[in-house]
Chains A and B, each alone.
Chain A
Amino acid sequence: MPSGSILGNAVPRLEDPDLLTGAARFVADLAPPGLAHAAFVRSTMAHAAIAGIDVGGAEQAPGVIGAFTAEGLGLDPQPFFYIIPPVFGRPPLAAEVVRFVGEPLAVVVAETPAQAADAAELVEVDYEPRPALIDPEAALEPGAPLLFPANGSNLASEYSSKAEPGALGGHDLVVSGRFVNQRVAAAPIEPTAVLVEPGAGGDDGGVTVWCTSQTPFGARDAVAAALGLDPGRVRAIAPAVGGGFGAKAAPYPEFVVTAWLARRLGRPVKWVETRSENLVNMVHGRDYVQYYELGLTRDGDFRWLRARATANVGAYPAVGAFLPSFTMSMASGPYQIPAVDFHASGAVTTTTPLGAFRGAGRPEATAAIERIVDLAAAELDMDPVELRRRNLLSPDQFPYETPTGAVMDCGDYQRALDQALETAGYDDLRAEQRRRRLRGDPKLMGVGVSVYVEVTGGLSQEYGSVEVTADGTVVARAGTSSHGQGHATSFTQLVGEVLGVPPDRVRVVHSDTFEVPRGIGTIASRSLQIAGSAVFKTAHEVLERARRIAAHRLEASVEDIVTADDGSGLTVAGVPARAMSWPELAAASTGGDLPDGMAPGELAAEIDFDQGAATYPFGAHVAVVEVDSETGDARLVRHVAVDDCGRILNPMLVRGQVHGGITQGAAQALYEQVLYDEDGNPRTANFADYCLPGPTEVPAYETAHTETPTPLNPLGAKGIGESGTIGSLPAVQSAVIDALSPLGIRHLDMPYTPEKVWRAITESAPSPA
């Protein structure tokens, strides 16, 4: 970046003052006049036919405005994600069958939230129980009870990439393992919420939908499709949103039902999920069973990989049913593996639907390949770092097409690994470990190393625009939708970089389908690289138009026109007195006296920027754990992360993403797991039972970056939102197993709860110490 650039600076977040003082408004904070409150009645059975629902008692309860079931709604089943086959359509309220505990089957609207919740308890549901189905592998066995009989099986999705016949050879040995990547909850601090007001802009027949969404355009389309409205009549707004992690990527049935209610009742209606509702109603993540086999030579050269995976996609296939495609494309990780044979199935079960959760398909791929590489290292009695080094792709191999079809833009994996090992003091750690093992330290020390590559920005197009308004304010619009990431800060930096304007002269507009013409949203770590590039490019277009206008009016050559140091407009280089302010330039742009060939028009530009392909961030993590050998209590004591997300725009925002990401990956390794009993009842529907860690469970992280700019966009940026999670989980997992390795333990499925680790220790030792 040029010197004097603000790109690369840790600019404090413009969003924070409002968030810290409580001025930011979340959906739950909004209370338009006449507001009514909805409460949903949810299935208490994992799988049952609905024999009857009696809302009579609820209708008579104090303050109740109405109580409705699927019959009253008359809404068709919806796909809720565009690629889902119609046979799996989900009725916004369960109509004939309930398929998971927590599925909404009736709704009550009342004057207060308490009245709605109390009345919802009076709704009586008559169930005819059907068998629950929890295990995805069992769900695919012949004879398993079917969730969607019309589909003929419980298979919801299938992805495969076959190796050439005979390609799985040339090895001296094969290591294999079965790995469970357990189900986890996204658990954003703000649960799902929606407020729908009748009317949109001046259109009384439309609706305005305030919702907790990463993709307001997706919410708009879902509501429009369900209500039979033109999307232009639905205004979807995501106000301040308290985290999503992918689980707010797709719209929820409650959005559609609440919109229907607002139109039916002619008043604004709001619904805010409780925490316990959130833990059964919001999509879960991961939940794969994986069988991996790696063929390699005795020297440690990888020859082939055979991977089989079954994803538990839950009761209604959603985004999660499609994520095995990411797992497939990333199956070989950062390694050169000549042949890969991959097959994944997604099975429906009577559990909460599976969605995207930070990493979405890539952590599953990375955890599995890193695990099998560790098993291979143990088998060869080779240092796991050494085995990785032998097989990492080298920088001159890019662009590199993997055997499963990913085309990776660029990377220098060795460099990231070297830096991570150096920061961690890897050799010293191993020496300390040897000393502690020799003296029989009851605290078992473990060191884990991961190298990862992931994929971001695959949906490669996004809307962005920049406009200089009459008063000189620069408005940047983007089709993405920040929900904690700090896009207003980054996009303001980009505009400031190009036009030289200070942050308080920039307004970033997003998350409102009436203020932004189109967009996809904030998913797959795509926002800065694609929407940011759109803003950056259009800012340049605006600058060029403004420079030509200024050159013409100031009678100078275009080359001599530069941005004013004080941010006020443009000047002739070296002659600050010869200047035009941004308001003057905006006015001139629409006026008559323009350079030859320039048509009058706003001082603005818009673009649907398309970077054409995905980018591939990568990195290396080192985790150090201590396991109390007497209680099995495992603690993360150090974590070093070197992540490469291409060029860094704002290191503070990147650090925030990395820290949160590391924590969510480490949390899956050590703490979190969504559990069901055999009847399909959730066992982890509150934070006493669902072990979400807090800041005291993790150490201060040591983070660093290499910067390998991508050639695919003008910023050189790749995504960083998910890398931390993808890189940390395998490192922490490996560290725990490394701690236990002197006992002969080579694999243990996550999470490493004290009792699970204690059991492994006890069962490995001839007599428990």
Chain B
Amino acid sequence: MLAPMKYAAPATVEEARALLAADGGARVFAGATDLIPQIRAGRPEPSMMIDLKRIDRLSGIARAGSTWTIGAATPTADIVAHAGFAAEFPGLAEASGLIGSDQIQNRCTWGGNLVNASPAADTPPALIVNDAKAVIASAGGERTVAAAEVATGPGATCLGADEIIVEFTLASPPPRTADAYLRLIPRTEMDIAVVGAAARVTLAPDGAVTAAAVALGAVAPTVVRVPDAEAALIGGPLTDDALEAVAQAASAACRPIDDKRGTVAYRRRVAGVLARRAVAIAADRAAADQRGASS
């Protein structure tokens, strides 16, 4: 049962880190949409809840030159609603807009989604195909880590006990580049991914794929990149054979488990189907990308 607990709302990253460092039982939170349900389900209660949403630097969406900076505690509802961002990263916006419901999205964040390190989380595959970087505040200053490196296993991350993700950075995609994210759930919303698949594709003016990234969620302890799928795409046009190779490679790259949401065999199969479809959608979007039309 949730009893009254200690709550702190620091105004700066330094204060938050000091609170964390001083109390081993303290936990930071952003939306708390993972943390509160976990406590209600019986996880130990933190001795203090440290609210990151009051720290200015952790909220907001900004573009400077070709770099986007997104505060780690920005609610995903803001990200979905940001037309400029969603135009450049439609797949990442899609993944962000799939989390829970409107109510959840008004609270939940990329930071929480990534640090909670659920294998089934929706935004990490999309962050990873876009090569997002996490800026982490540490005792010795700040360090930058690829989003792909943050989660190290279910519920485990590379963060030290007093480290906090401050923000994410993303490079504006080159012309004729787009991403896509698909997931399979039994319902249409409010459910946990059986499989998630993100893809990003860059096309040459002649339609040949010049860059590709494919990443899968819920099929291994952490997000799986599929280099074989990427290799099968790069250098040629997007043929049915290439798409079939993507599906095969994605199925082969999975290391899923049997659980109540799906068996190994099913997850493998669906990972292939969704990877193929996500690549096809990303390529369609890339082909329609107006920014590439003049080049």
Contact = CB atoms under 8 A, between A and B. Distances in A.
Contacts of B262: 755
Contacts of A753: 186
**From DSSP, what is the main secondary structure of chain B's interface residues?**
loop
B1 A118 contact: yes
A688 B186 contact: no
Contacts of A688: 191-192
B266 interface: yes
Interface string B261-291: 0110010011001100000000000000000
A691 B3 contact: no
B184 interface: yes
Contacts of B189: 694, 696
B116 to A, nearest CB: 14
A630 to B, nearest CB: 5
Interface size class of B (residues with CB under 8 A): 20 to 34
Contacts of B188: 694, 696-697
A631 B186 contact: no
A320 B35 CA distance: 39
A114 B262 CA distance: 36
B2 interface: yes
A64 B269 CA distance: 54
Contact of A671 (B186, B270, B274): B186
Contacts of B270: 630-631, 754, 758
B190 interface: yes
A241 interface: no
Interface string B148-178: 0000000000000000000000000000000
A117 interface: yes
Nearest to A688: B192
A633 B184 contact: yes
A113 B262 CA distance: 37
Contacts of B260: 675, 683, 689
Interface in A600-638: 630-631, 633
A631 B260 CA distance: 17
A759 interface: yes
Given A630-B273, A691-B186, A113 B266 contact: no
A693 B273 CA distance: 24
B1 A114 contact: yes
B43 interface: no
Nearest to A698: B188
B266 A694 contact: no
Given A631-B270, A755-B263, A759-B266, A671 B3 contact: no
B219 to A, nearest CB: 14
B3 A114 contact: yes
A693 B269 CA distance: 25
Given A631-B273, A671-B187, A114 B263 contact: no
Interface string A663-691: 00000000100010000000100011101
A687 B192 CA distance: 11
Interface string A333-358: 00000000000000000000000000
A631 B3 contact: no
Contacts of B192: 688
A57 to B, nearest CB: 16
A691 B1 contact: no
B194 interface: yes
A90 B13 CA distance: 58
Contact of A754 (B2, B3, B186, B190): B186
A612 to B, nearest CB: 45
B147 to A, nearest CB: 25
Most buried by B among A114, A671, A683, A755: A755
Contact of B266 (A691, A696, A758): A758
B3 to A, nearest CB: 5
Name the residue in B186, B263, B274 with the highest tally of chain A Cβ atoms < 10 Å from its Cβ.
Answer: B186
A697 B186 CA distance: 10
Contacts of A687: 190
A683 B260 CA distance: 9
Interface string B1-15: 111000000000000
Interface in B186-205: 186-192, 194
Nearest to B270: A631
Contacts of B190: 687, 694
Nearest to A117: B1
Given A114-B3, A630-B273, A754 B184 contact: yes
Contacts of A759: 266
B187 A693 contact: yes
A375 to B, nearest CB: 27
Contacts of A630: 269-270, 273
Contacts of B274: 631
Nearest to A39: B1
B266 A755 contact: yes
Contacts of A671: 186-187
Given A755-B266, A758-B269, A697 B184 contact: no
Nearest to A753: B186
Contacts of B263: 755
A466 B263 CA distance: 61
A688 B192 CA distance: 8
Interface centre among A631, A675, A762 (most CB of B within 10 A): A631
A37 to B, nearest CB: 11
A556 B118 CA distance: 83
Nearest to A752: B186
B238 to A, nearest CB: 18
Contacts of A754: 184, 186, 194, 266, 270
Given A688-B192, A754-B194, A694 B187 contact: yes
A693 B190 CA distance: 9
Contacts of A113: 1
A389 B188 CA distance: 36
Contacts of A762: 269
B63 to A, nearest CB: 33
Nearest to A687: B190
A246 to B, nearest CB: 24
Contact of B2 (A114, A694, A697, A758): A114
Interface in A116-146: 117-118
Contacts of A696: 187-189
Interface string A20-43: 000000000000000000000000
Contacts of B269: 630-631, 758, 762, 768
Interface string B229-260: 00000000000000000000000000000001
A665 to B, nearest CB: 17
B3 A118 contact: yes
Given A758-B269, A759-B266, A697 B1 contact: no
Interface string A751-769: 0011100110010000010
B187 A697 contact: yes
10 contacts: A117-B1, A118-B3, A630-B273, A683-B260, A688-B192, A691-B187, A691-B191, A697-B188, A754-B186, A755-B194
Pick the 3 closest A-B CB pairs, nearest first. A117-B1, A696-B188, A630-B273
Given A633-B184, A754-B270, 12 more contacts: A114-B3, A117-B1, A631-B274, A683-B260, A687-B190, A688-B191, A688-B192, A697-B187, A754-B194, A754-B266, A755-B263, A762-B269
Interface of A: 113-114, 117-118, 630-631, 633, 671, 675, 683, 687-689, 691, 693-694, 696-697, 753-755, 758-759, 762, 768
